[in-house]
């Protein structure tokens, strides 16, 4: 009799697990810092989130990665440097509100391609003349201002504490950005493109040595 009851018990446990794993997430309270989207005084101007909103079908990490993806499209506004690719980042932290635990958005940022050519020239045309080196691809010799440093610098300028904050971005940060993030007290780095290239090994080691989390979350088909 005991053995006959096991299949039914197993099915009940499986249903409970699946209901918790795939249960839609309620939108948590969101609080945006006044300077999170930049300002008109910045070279890049106001940063758009393109009407991003919380999607209950996805987890917290997935929703914030979706926000980073939306922010990356600000690069199209610059009409230059597109060879550098799209890259968006979100800096945030958990915070307790009156209505319950929520998320405080500290800042949005994207790679900003500076003008290295004349007003008529374009950075992507300059880069098209020759193939990009491995150092340029990995950020060690980049032709753009990186989103991670933009975030840390803006928070420092505005007096916003970054200890214990989390960074959501599209690709794994480069070596220079990782150093800045660890010095700023970022404790979690989540990105969505694989970090299989050997050049990311020292980034992983430094993040782990600092007691922070380095996590790749590849987008699902649903996302």
- Per-residue model confidence as pLDDT tens digits over 142-194: 567 899 999 999 999 999 999 999 999 999 999 999 999 999 999 999 999 99
At 70, the pLDDT band (50, 70, 90 cuts) reads very high
Residue 67 · residue 90 · CB < 8 Å: yes
Q: Nearest 5 degrees, angle CA 144-CA 150-CA 154?
A: 155
Q: Are strands 30-32 and 188-191 parallel, antiparallel or unpaired?
A: unpaired
Most confident of 78-82, 117-121, 201-205: 201-205
At 46, the pLDDT band (50, 70, 90 cuts) reads confident
Residue 142 · residue 61 · CB < 8 Å: no
Q: Is the pTM of this model over 0.85?
A: no
């Amino acid at each position: 009799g005991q053995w006959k009851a096991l299949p039914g018990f197993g099915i009940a446990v499986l249903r409970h697990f699946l209901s918790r794993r795939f249960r839609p997430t309620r939108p948590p309270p969101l609080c945006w810092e006044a300077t999170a989207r930049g300002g008109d005084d910045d070279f890049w101007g106001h940063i758009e989130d393109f009407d991003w909103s919380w999607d209950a079908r996805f987890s917290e990490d997935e929703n914030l990665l979706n926000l980073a993806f939306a922010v990356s499209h600000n690069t199209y506004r610059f009409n230059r440097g597109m060879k550098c690719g799209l890259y968006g980042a979100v800096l945030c932290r958990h915070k307790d509100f009156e209505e319950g635990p929520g998320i405080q958005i500290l800042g949005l940022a994207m790679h900003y391609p500076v003008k290295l050519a004349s007003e008529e020239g374009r950075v992507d045309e300059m880069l098209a003349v020759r193939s990009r080196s491995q150092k340029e691809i990995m950020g060690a010799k980049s032709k753009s201002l990186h989103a991670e440093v933009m975030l840390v610098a803006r928070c420092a300028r505005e007096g916003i504490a970054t200890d214990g904050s989390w960074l959501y971005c599209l690709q794994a940060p480069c070596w220079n950005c990782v150093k800045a993030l660890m010095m700023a007290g970022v404790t979690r780095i989540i990105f969505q493109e694989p970090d299989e290239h050997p050049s990311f090994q020292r980034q992983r080691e430094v993040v782990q040595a600092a007691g922070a989390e380095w996590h790749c979350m590849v987008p699902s088909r649903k996302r």
